[in-house]
Copies of this chain bind each other. A is one copy, B any other.
Amino acid sequence: MGFIGSTLARRLAGLGADVVVVDSLVPDYGGNPFNMDGCGGPGGRVQVNISDIRDPHSLRWLARDREMIFNLAGQTSHMDSMTDPFTDLAINGTAQLSLLEICRQHNQGARIVFASTRQIYGRPRYLPVDEKHPLDPVDVNGINKIAGESYHLLYSKVYGLPTAVLRLTNTYGPRMRIKDARQTFLGVWVRAVVEGRPFEVWGGDQLRDYTYVDDAVDAMMLAMLTPELEGKAFNLGGDRVVSLRETAEILARHSDGTFSTREFPSDRKRIDIGDYYADDTAFRTATGWSPRVSLEEGLRRTVDYYRQHLAHYL
């Protein structure tokens, strides 16, 4: 019931799929029951199951008869991974191994797409970052996400489980967390704009690429349906490279918002990664994917969504 998972579930249900959404609703993680509004709940098109990926018993029951598993379960906060590294490891490491062991033992045919992250590359040594770029994470979260995706690739190679890995960059759009910066700084910006407050840009020159959530969902479905991706990890990028400042200007222009800039806070610097943008040629070539929603259009849609639904995200 998080940001990308709920968008994906809604799309799949719209296509007629039999969908079970699994979320633990850990406070302050991404899950928000409102994200399933109109399609979850009694009589809805999507079955919602509240349980934790760290619980192998419920997971065994839930995973054993599924054809496809979109594995987006994760702890995503970089700060949390430093203050509570064991919880991060339990979710991003041990629980991932648990899902794969369950599939190996009870559901070897299940196709799995695992959502990984650009964070595992650390500070880019060259740009754009392709999949051969060394992995050099700057936090415990990155180390554990590497373990999580490595288990997926290993279980594909050794046991033939059909798994593929997508390394996501900044995904944004309706249903993202905007209460705070735990998911993306864009959430905080959008919230400020919708509440009529100026937002703050830390730095400004950093280069980023962004994926609109519908494009990310397209990519995950294509990853699921493209057997050539099995046992491999692919970057996912956006429609173009933009500086933080330009991103802020686009958002402000499309929402009548305002912003100020300040220096990057020194206590965050040690986990800052500088510029990042992905080379996702391999994924585009293998699947034919390309982003369909521009940053301008995506930010406009995002602001419109929160203007309508703000109360459900605070």
Interface residues of A (CB under 8 A from B): 82, 85-86, 89, 93-94, 97-98, 101, 132, 134-135, 137-140, 143-144, 146-147, 150-151, 154, 157-158, 270-271
Contacts and interface: CB of A to CB of B under 8 A. Distances in A.
Contact of A137 (B86, B94, B134, B154): B154
Nearest to A151: B143
A270 B147 contact: no
Contacts of A94: 86, 89, 94
A82 B93 CA distance: 15
A89 B101 CA distance: 13
Contacts of A134: 132, 134
A143 B134 CA distance: 15
Contact of A93 (B89, B98, B154): B89
> Which of A132, A147, A158, A270 has the most CB atoms of chain B within a 10 A radius of its CB?
A147
Contacts of A140: 97, 151, 154
The 10 residue pairs across chains A and B that have the minimum distance between CB atoms? A143-B150, A147-B147, A85-B97, A143-B147, A158-B270, A89-B94, A93-B93, A143-B151, A89-B97, A89-B93
Nearest to A85: B97
Contacts of A135: 135
A1 B18 CA distance: 55
A155 to B, nearest CB: 9
A154 B150 contact: no
A150 B271 CA distance: 15
Contacts of A154: 137-140, 143
A146 B142 CA distance: 12
Contacts of A85: 97, 101, 151
Contacts of A132: 134
B82 A147 contact: no
Contacts of A151: 85, 140, 143
A146 B137 contact: no
15 contacts: A85-B101, A86-B97, A89-B97, A93-B93, A93-B147, A97-B140, A132-B134, A134-B134, A137-B154, A138-B154, A140-B151, A143-B151, A143-B154, A144-B147, A157-B270
A89 B89 CA distance: 10
A97 B86 CA distance: 8
A270 to B, nearest CB: 6
